[in-house]
Amino acid sequence: MSESAQPDEGALARFGEDVARLRDAVAKVIVGQDSVVEEVLICLFAGGHVLLEGAPGLGKTLLVRTLAEAMSLRFARIQFTPDLMPADIVGTQMVVEDENGRKRFELQRGPIFGQLVLADEINRATPKTQSALLEAMAEQSVTIAGKRHALQAPFFVLATENPIEMEGTYPLPEAQLDRFLFKVLVPNPDEDTLVAILHRTTGLVSETVPVVLDAARILEQRELVRSVQVASPIARYVARFVRMSDPTGDAAASAARSWLRYGAGVRGAQSVLLAAKVVALMNGRAHVSLPDVQRVLLPALRHRLIPNFEADADGVSTDKILAKLIEEVPTASDAVAGIAG
């Protein structure tokens, strides 16, 4: 489908059915976490990667594995540790001996050659090892012994980090954080959800995850996402929002000047608009509205803003800063007035 061809009603209906089937498949195993599941699915269809932050035991790994089963994608898990080396991720050339005694090099592929890759506790590995994952995320390929190897599409990385674990961690550099389309916060379950989890996980019966989509269908729907229409005022709103998040710019919002050292950049604006296209399709529309954009501002930008000393000292989170920016930006723009649906 070309970018100029607007999705028809049939395409919109098929997209909605695919999303519903995936949600139902995940719900057979995962209790609650509806917002988390939705944001992960947004990234999946947008073609981006996800950084999941939450305490241990909240089902992050189970969610990733369930998605892989529901889409019949090759699943791989990488447990990041301080002694993990880049070759442990991408693979290496091994010397092997054939039946005639001749030695030759043979490629031993690493877990990064999976299609749905779980990078568990990514901030526990050294920057050198993290950079190996960065290349794969950015280029959809890896380099082994000077030779480039393309990764099979769809290639989807879900990385987890534990906000509690501080000792022995290496904070992700801004360049790598920027490669994640979303940073998704996984909350602790409420009492009713926890009761449901206990019943489901301590009994004899375990649910089987049905295969509801395949790789070809995911790629087809990603192409559909790209064809969603964006009106000029909506694109201008996104551009203005990102510019107003820059505390050094002439258009900086007061919240940015007060609490930010660095704001979002071009990739942040691209991520917001691409994710908003998926939200529009989820809502059965072939065009992006202002609520679609505002739905994804927090997960798409919270990891791209760098708070200053005042924000850290006052305990002001990036989510709170973004909430203040959302209040400021529309009132500073007449271009998006009335664009609500």
In tens, the pLDDT along 200-256 reads 777 766 778 888 999 999 999 999 999 999 999 999 999 999 999 999 988 899 999
Q: Using one digit for the tens of pLDDT, what is the confidence trace for 274-289?
A: 999 999 999 999 999 9
Written as six digits, the tokens of 24 are: 């139902």
If DSSP codes are grouped into helix, strand and coil, which group holds residue 338? coil
Domain architecture of the chain: domains with CATH: 31-220 (3.40.50.300), 228-331 (1.10.8.80)
Positive or negative torsion for Cα 19, 21, 26, 28: positive
Residue-wise DSSP of 204-227: S--PPPPP---HHHHHHHHHHHHT
Read off the amino acid at residue 151. Answer: L
Sign of CA dihedral 161, 35, 270, 155: positive
DSSP string covering 2-45: -TTSPP-HHHHHHHHHHHHHHHHHHHTT--S-HHHHHHHHHHHH
pTM over 0.85: yes
Q: Closest Cα partner for 157 from 85, 223, 39, 75?
A: 75
Q: Are 289 and 339 in contact (CB under 8 A)?
A: yes
